[in-house]
Amino acid sequence: MIVSVALCKFVSGQNFEGEIIYSNTFKSKLPNFTDEQLQLLIGDKQEYFIKEGNYKSLSNGQALTVQLYDDKTNRIYNKTPKSDTLYWFDASVNTDTVISFEIKKNVEKILGYECDAIIMKTKTGTTTIYYNAKYKVDNRPYTKHNYSNWAFYVNQTKALPLKTVVETNHLKWKVRLLKLSL
């Protein structure tokens, strides 16, 4: 009963709130850093929970296990596996500005959903994010969340990423949707 009520609200045009599970794969471009080392460091699985403009990310990597975003303070809190302390940074800071972008329609099907893609060229590389407008994200809580160009992305698409490909001189990182739960 609760699931059907949530599904009816979601289908009627509400913004997505729930759990998203992604898989990570890596290709290192550095001679002394392997794909396997990247996977151990960052993790091969990410679980995201989004609600009311805030999010929580859980990762099975060795560098970072928890990331929390608080839209009221515009802070991102990080936790490493070897510490019980949360360290925060200002999400308005972005070290990799978007130089140009384009949107391509109907470029890939992900778990049965036809996806558009936004291709963002930055100072350090290219980020391509695949999305379906059915999975809406309210861009208003993220207007100052410049870290990783999140504010730019959600302002342009107003949708949840279903797949992300980040390519720099150091690596190629693919984040792919495994499951969505309302």
pLDDT tens-digit map of 83-101: 999 999 999 999 899 999 9
What radius of gyration, in Å, describes the C-alpha atoms of the chain? Answer: 16
Confidence of residue 13 (pLDDT cuts 50, 70, 90): low
More confident residue, 163 or 6: 163
For residue 176, what pLDDT is reported? 97
The maximal CA–CA distance of the chain, rounded, in angstroms, is 54
On whether the CB atoms of residues 150 and 74 are closer than 8 A, the answer is no
User: Would the pTM count as exceeding 0.75?
Assistant: yes
Q: What is the mean pLDDT of the chain?
A: 92
Say if residue 142's pLDDT is above 90. Answer: yes
Low-confidence winner among 1-10, 45-54, 106-115, 173-182 (lowest mean pLDDT): 1-10
pLDDT of 182 reads 82
Separation CA 157–CA 26 (nearest Å): 25
**Average pLDDT over every residue of 112-123:** 97
**Ordered domains of the chain (ranges, CATH):** 16-181 (2.50.20)
The residue type found at 147 is Y
Residues of the chain above pLDDT 70, percent:
93
- List, in order, residues 6 or more apart from 82 with CB less than 8 Å away: none
In whole angstroms, what is the distance from residue 108 CA to residue 29 CA?
A: 25
Find the mean pLDDT for residues 135-163.
97
